[in-house]
Amino acid sequence: MNLHTSWLQQYLDRPIPPRELVDAMPRAALEVEAEEVVGDGYQVELKVLPNRPDCLGVLGIAREMAALFSCNVIWPSDQLPPAAGDEKFSVQIDEPDLCRRFTAAVFRGVKIGPSPAWMQTVLTQAGLRPINNVVDITNFVMIETGQPMHAFDLAKLAGRKIVVRKLRDGETLDLLVGKPIDSTYGNPLCVCDAEKPQALAGIMGGKSAGTEATTTEVLLEVAYFDPVHVRKNVKAVRNRQGSGGSDSSYRFERGVDPNQMLDFARRRACSLIVELTGATLAGPPTDVIAKPTNPRIFTLPAARVSRLIGTTIEPAVVRESLTKLGYQVTDNDVVTVPTYRVDVNDAVVLAEDVARMIGYDNIAAELRPARATRGADCKASRLRTALNRGLVNAGWLETKNDPLESLALASRWLGEPPPALQLNNPATAEMAVLRRTLLNGLLASTQRNVFRGAPGVRLFEIDRTFATLPGIWTLAGIAGGVPGPMNWRGATPVDFYTLKGTIEDAFESAGMRVSFLPIDPKPGSPMRAGASIQIGSERVGWVGELDSATAKVDRAAFKIFGFEINLAAVEPRFEQPVKYAPVSRFPASARDLAVVAKTEITFAEIERVVRASGGDKLERVELVDEFVGKQLPTGHRSLAIRLTFRDPGRTLTAEEVTASVEAVVKQLSAELAASLRA
Amino acid sequence: MSNTDELVSAIQAAGADALRDIAAATSAEQLEQARIQYLAKEGVITKFSKSLGTVPGPEKKRVGQAVNDAKNGAQAAWDAKKADVGGGEKKIVAGFDVSMPGLRRGVGRRHPITQVLDEVKSVLIGMGFRYDDYPEYEDEFHNFDSLNTPDWHPSRDSHDSYYTKPDAKGEAHVLRTHTTAFQIRAMKAIGQPPIRAMTAGRCYRRDDIDATHYPIFNQIDAICIDRDVSFADLKQTLYTLLTALLGDDIQLRFRPSYFPFTTPSAEVDVLYRGKWMEILGSGMMRPEVLRNGGIDPEQFQGFALGMGLDRLAMRKFGIDDIRHLYENDEQFLSQF
């Protein structure tokens, strides 16, 4: 709703500086979207809160302002002009639930012409285009009162009769704007003459009975239509035709007042038509109330308001605040709600009105004694935080990628997504399916960074994926190249082992140990080669080199590695109690062995044999180095392994350590045909 | 005034001159000039120490102290300044070049939205709120109906919300349009008041993408329910939360607003770095909503608040385009 403050001021009995009016608007359910100094006041663009259609007319806004500034509303003249005859006009309402009230007034001797300049100014300021005096009066009274109305050229109506009924199968209605409406629009409520529909009720008039330059007889409709039904019809038109609705339907959809304001509006419009078009009223207007609208009544003791607001509010303040806004309040706190306040469906709304009148900013902020509760973060969230910190400490960057992706991306590794993951109404094809892996987004971010010249990446994301509904927390990452600061002593690109180490560190920092088992990736999987990530016997994810054919990163001069972990599977292993293990005060003895074995013998096998044969003093088995070269027999490699021995109760002698090492060497030879490097 | 007094003040004056010239030096050359003038063998201050021999015995100590003070002060200023103007002598100290870069692993960063979320969470957890995850793949009951949002409400339009195709059971879902969708689930999960609960996460609205709009965004929502939890408590909670997030020098403004699930409703603006910005929506929970959560609105009342994290992160870090938050450019991410 757009208006100029000088127009609003005309309805107030005390002059209020325009600036103060604008500043008070937010307290009156009005959001000031834009303001501009024009002449002696402000031209403002207001967003009326959707629950307050009573403020879709300047009188409603004036009512709020009068309450806030403790003055009165000046109601303009609404004297119903005397009727020239006693002509009756018939109105029949077939759908009392959809049209509670319909009033009709007949005018003769109408001279169509331009409306007066003052009216055109107000309409223009409100963003409405002046058309002719009759149409302008209906629009003017609408923005003055919030009550929409419609003027028909009476000569074009058949049977001198109005029937308010649903559009029948086979009927069509050609509207002033847009394509014709028929019963496929859901049999919307129409205002009809004796033969056919002439207007889509509350939304728009038809082409055939509109006023034009030659019109001399006018039928003025001022009615109440059901908000839900009007909204449904507007939606139907909008869905079919791309646009729909009008200033009228905007108000009907939100709810107009079928009583006091409707009455005022029709009298006001009648008096203006007679005054400005030279017409006379043909007879007393017809007023059919198919279903009365009774005011709502609530009891609101001041104690209830005080309890809700959290500060003592005297009964007199409650009564005064509500009375100013047009409520009737009895001494025993019974409040009658004016029917223009369609939003008041519970006593709490009355409390809100009292709070608004006091001013939200005048209510003291105060934490009052309340029962304590224990603040806590849930375990799943603590796990995410712990792993997030673990990766960040390793130099990784946390990303946030789109959870919606294209059907093609969603399908590339996991096949077509089930319908439950596909949006019924995607805005774009790029954002149409809920993701089942974080990899696509991470790859897109990797690609973006590579295009922008990054020599390497270390990116991760922790978020929900939707392979299992309603979603499962997932951690994934992508690394490759030489990310981070340059190491001038020898920059080594990310490879499988650095990524594996990062994952181990991150989990260890979160109090968990992970292990890895080799897996053979299935064809079509994003991974070319890699391992499963295990916690104990539970498989929680995978890590490996990505397949450069399917997980393609253009212009990347390095191999791309990735991992993905199901955090729901990790969660039960998180936050296991830590048990202290005794610490030996005696020194450890370390021996290095260069073990030459066939290349296909894994480190895990060697480690297993070493541990099994090293005796109970063997504390650690560590890989120090891997060597492959011509000095070794073909198909062999040398693994330098450090064995660390320790006894909790004494210092081990050199002889004891040597004996243990010899046992290890013997067993390596026996089980794995491994020898020591000469 | 004795000769000694004059000598001491001359020394002090020379010291002051030296400090002034050193401070004024803007290049390595000028700084070297100052060193030669005051501190070198033939420098003004050095000369005073040579003249020490002519000072009578009992006064020697006082004059010597003055010379030392002037010399040490000037030298310290010169050393400090040298690092500033740079370009001093290049030195290999004890076999290593300290100017060569340290060997760094590099510093990772949490996403700015995660950082802001963690701050909000820690403040609210400190006030007794518990954080839990709630679904973003929601149903219409939790996202709309239970929150007093009737089926004709415009926010339910497929123009504004994303709906999925029906699943195997024939049920279509809505991607939550606000974290407020957690309210009924939280009340049902936690049981009877006192309740202080919150959640956070991703929400979806069918928006076009531009500098200030993204169809996917992050929110935090919290509810607090007990016998007499009031609007005053809401205000105090918001003061505590927002001053913790944005600093003590902010101002708040509460504006009446409309949400189907709260009455009274308040939009909160914060004056931050000289500009008012809309930061969150809040209000007293509707009786219908409490009832839907299995809580008797005659006995209990509560407040609710919901805040967008993207905008908050943007304001806090001065980010001018929301799309940066989801592009994941390392140049962007490594700033926070």
Last residue of one domain, picked from the residues A39, A69, A99:
A69
Top-level class of domain B112-333: alpha beta
Contact A388, A462 (CB under 8 A): yes
Please give the Cα distance from B159 to B155 (Å, whole number): 8
Q: Centre a 10 Å sphere on the Cβ of residue A653 and count the other Cβ atoms it contains.
A: 11
| pLDDT computed for residue A429 by the predictor | 95
What's the whole-number mean pLDDT along residues A498-509? 97
Is there a contact between A352 and B264 if contact means CB atoms under 8 Å apart?
yes
Report percent pLDDT > 90 for chain B.
60
- Where residue A243 falls among pLDDT bands split at 50, 70, 90? confident
How many domains, chain A? 5
Confidence (pLDDT) at A17: 97
* 3 state SS of A622: strand
- pLDDT of A533 higher than 60: yes
Nearest CA of chain B to the CA of A310: how many Å? Answer: 5
Asked whether residue A367 is assigned to any structural domain, the reply reads: no
- How far is the alpha carbon of A568 from chain B, nearest alpha carbon, in Å? 12
Residue of chain A minimizing CA distance to B218: A400
Chain A residues within 8 A of B215 when measuring between CB atoms: 404, 427, 431
B164·A398 Cβ contact <8 A: no
Chain B residues 203-262 with a CB less than 8 Å from chain A: 204, 206-208, 215-216, 226-233, 235-240, 253-258
Query: Minimal Cα distance from A487: which residue of B?
Result: B103
Q: How many CB atoms lie within 10 A of CB A507?
A: 22
Inform me whether the C-beta atom of residue B334 falls under 8 Å from chain A C-beta atoms.
yes
Asked whether residue A438 falls in the same domain as residue A517, the answer is yes
CB–CB contact B330 A454 (8 Å): yes
Provide the shortest C-alpha distance from residue B307 to chain A (in Å): 18
Question: What is the edge-to-edge ordering of all strands in the sheet holding A589-598?
Answer: A618-627, A636-645, A589-598, A675-676
Give every CB contact of residue B53 below 8 A, 6+ residues apart in sequence.
none
**Spatial CB neighbours of A593, under 8 Å, sequence gap ≥ 6:** A640, A641, A642, A643, A661, A664, A665, A676
pLDDT-above-70 percentage for chain A: 100
Nearest chain A CA: its distance from B49 CA (Å) = 48
CATH code, A97: 3.50.40.10
Find the residue in B nearest to A311 (Cα).
Answer: B232
Name chain B contacts of A419, Cβ cutoff 8 Å.
164-167
Beta pairing partners, A561: A479, A545
Residue-wise burial string across A193-223, b where 16 or more C-beta atoms lie within 10 A, e elsewhere? beebbbbbbbbbbbebbbbeeebbbbbbbbb
- Is residue B140 scored above 80 in pLDDT? yes
- The pLDDT of residue B93 is 67
Q: Is B129 on the interface with A (CB under 8 A)?
A: yes
**How many other C-beta atoms lie within 10 A of the C-beta of residue A407?**
15
Asked whether the beta carbons of A399 and B328 are under 8 A apart, the reply is yes
> A374–B128: do the CB atoms touch at under 8 Å?
yes
Contacts A453 to B, Cβ<8 Å: none
pLDDT digits (tens, 9 = 90+) for A314-340: 999 999 999 999 999 999 999 999 999
Tell me how many degrees the CA angle B320-B306-A380 measures, rounded to the nearest 5. Answer: 95
In CATH, what number is assigned to the domain containing residue A523?
A: 3.30.930.10
Cβ within 8 Å, pair B152-A484: no
> Quick one: A477 and A524 in the same domain?
yes
* A284 and A311 fall within a common domain: no
Token pair 């809580």 is at which residue? B295
Q: Is the ipTM, as predicted for this complex, more than 0.95? A: no
**Residue A201 contacts residue A222 (beta carbons within 8 Å):** no
Q: Looking at beta carbons, which residues of chain B come within 8 Å of A400?
A: 111, 113, 325-326, 328
Residue B141 has pLDDT above 90, yes or no: yes
- Share of chain A residues as helix, strand and coil, in percent rounded to the nearest 5: 35, 25, 40
Interchain pair A395, B121: CB under 8 A = no
Q: Is residue A486 part of a domain?
A: yes
Are A486 and A562 within one domain?
yes
| Residue A201 clears pLDDT 80, i.e. is over it | yes
Q: Do B154 and A396 touch (CB under 8 A)?
A: no
State residue A85 phi and psi, 5-degree precision: -145, -160
Q: Which of A51, A310, A487 sits opposite B230 (nearest CB)?
A: A310
Whether residues A566 and A603 fall in one domain: no
CATH code, A327: 3.30.56.10
Pair (A278, A199) in one structural domain: yes
Q: Does residue B173 sit at the A interface (CB-CB below 8 Å)?
A: yes
Instruction: Give dist(CA A643, CA A321) in Å, integer.
Output: 85
Looking at the structure, do residues A127 and A189 belong to the same domain, yes or no? yes
Residue B228 to residue A425, Cβ atoms within 8 A:
no
pLDDT at B29: 83
Q: A370, B325: Cβ pair inside 8 Å?
A: no
Where residue B274 falls among pLDDT bands split at 50, 70, 90? confident
Is the pLDDT assigned to residue B23 strictly greater than 90? no
What is the tens place of the pLDDT at every residue in B57-77? 778 888 888 889 999 998 898
Question: In terms of CA atoms, which chain B residue is nearest residue A394?
Answer: B108
What pLDDT is attached to residue B208?
84
Q: Is residue A146 part of a domain?
A: yes
Average confidence score pLDDT of chain A: 95
pLDDT digits (tens, 9 = 90+) for A24-64: 999 998 999 999 999 999 999 999 998 999 999 999 999 99
pLDDT in tens, B170-226: 999 999 999 999 999 999 999 999 999 999 999 999 988 888 889 999 999 999 999
Residue of A122, A135, A104 whose CA lies nearest to A248: A135
Per DSSP, the residues of B170-196 read S---EE-SSGGGGHHHHHHHH-SSSEE
- Residue A658 forms part of a structural domain: yes
Degrees to nearest 5, angle at CA B167 with B164 and B168? 170
Alpha-carbon Rg for chain B, nearest whole angstrom, is: 34
Please give the average per-residue pLDDT across A458-462, as a whole number.
Answer: 98
Buried b (16+ CB within 10 A) or exposed e, A246-283: bebbbbbbbbbbbbebbbbbbbbbbbbbbebbebbbbe
pLDDT number for residue A519:
92
Residues A8 and A103 in one domain: no
3-state SS string over A311-370? CCCCHHHHHHHHHHCCCEECCCCEEECCCCCCCCCCHHHHHHHHHHHHCHHHCCCCCCCC
Name the residue with tokens 């480190």: A603
Q: 3-state DSSP call for residue B226?
A: strand
SS3 content of chain B, % helix, strand, coil (to 5): 45, 20, 35
Query: What local confidence, expressed as pLDDT, does residue B90 receive?
Result: 58
Contacts across the A-B interface (CB distance below 8 Å): 265
- Give the per-residue pLDDT at B46: 87
Helix H or strand E segment including A256:
none
- Inter-chain touch A351–B263, beta carbons under 8 Å: yes
Residues of chain B neighbouring A466 (CB-CB closer than 8 A): 137
Long-range contacts of residues A343-346, Cβ cutoff 8 Å, at least 24 apart: A343/A51, A343/A52, A343/B258, A344/A296, A344/A298, A345/A296, A346/A298, A346/B263, A346/B286, A346/B287, A346/B288
- For residue A26, which residues of chain B lie inside 8 Å, CB to CB? 255-256
pLDDT at A521 over 90: no
Comparing A159-173, A429-443, B23-37, B87-101, which segment has the lowest mean pLDDT? Answer: B87-101
> Is the predicted pLDDT of residue B86 greater than 70, yes or no?
no
- DSSP H/E element including A637: strand A636-645
Phi, psi of A657 (to 5 degrees): -65, -45
Task: Tell me which chain B residues have a C-beta less than 8 angstroms from the C-beta of A31.
Answer: 255
A324 shares a domain with A389: no
Which chain A residues are Cβ-neighbours of B271 within 8 angstroms? none
Helices (H), chain B: 3-24, 28-34, 44-50, 57-85, 112-126, 140-143, 183-190, 231-246, 287-292, 309-317, 324-327, 330-333
The C-alpha atoms of residue A272 and residue A96 are separated, in whole angstroms, by: 29
Segment A565-608, tens digit of pLDDT: 999 999 999 999 999 998 999 999 999 999 999 999 999 999 99
> Which of A98, A239, A352, A402 should we substitute to test contact with B (largest number of B Cβ atoms within 10 Å)?
A352
Residue A592, number of CB atoms within 10 A of its CB: 12
Q: Are residues A346 and A403 in the same domain?
A: no
Domain assignment present for A77:
no
Nearest 5°: CA angle at B262, between B257 and B268? 40
User: Is residue A539 classed exposed, middle or buried when 0-12, 13-18 and 19+ CB atoms within 10 A define those classes?
Assistant: middle
User: Is A341 a domain residue?
Assistant: yes
Task: Quote the CA–CA distance of A511 and B150 in Å, as a whole number.
Answer: 48
Q: Are A250 and A203 in contact (CB under 8 A)?
A: no
Residues in chain A: 678
Please report, for chain B, the start and end positions of each structural domain, with discontinuous segments joined by +.
3-85, 112-333
Test B128 with A424 for CB contact under 8 angstroms: no
Question: What DSSP state is assigned to residue A672?
Answer: H
Query: What is the rounded distance in angstroms from the CA atom of residue A167 to the CA atom of residue B123?
Result: 59
Q: Does B105 touch chain A (CB under 8 A)?
A: yes
B135·A360 Cβ contact <8 A: no
Domain span at residue A649 reads: 589-676
* Per-residue pLDDT at B92: 67
Q: Is the model's pLDDT at A3 over the cut of 70?
A: yes
Collect all residues of chain B within an 8 Å Cβ-Cβ radius of residue A343.
258
- Cα separation of A209 and A151, whole Å? 9
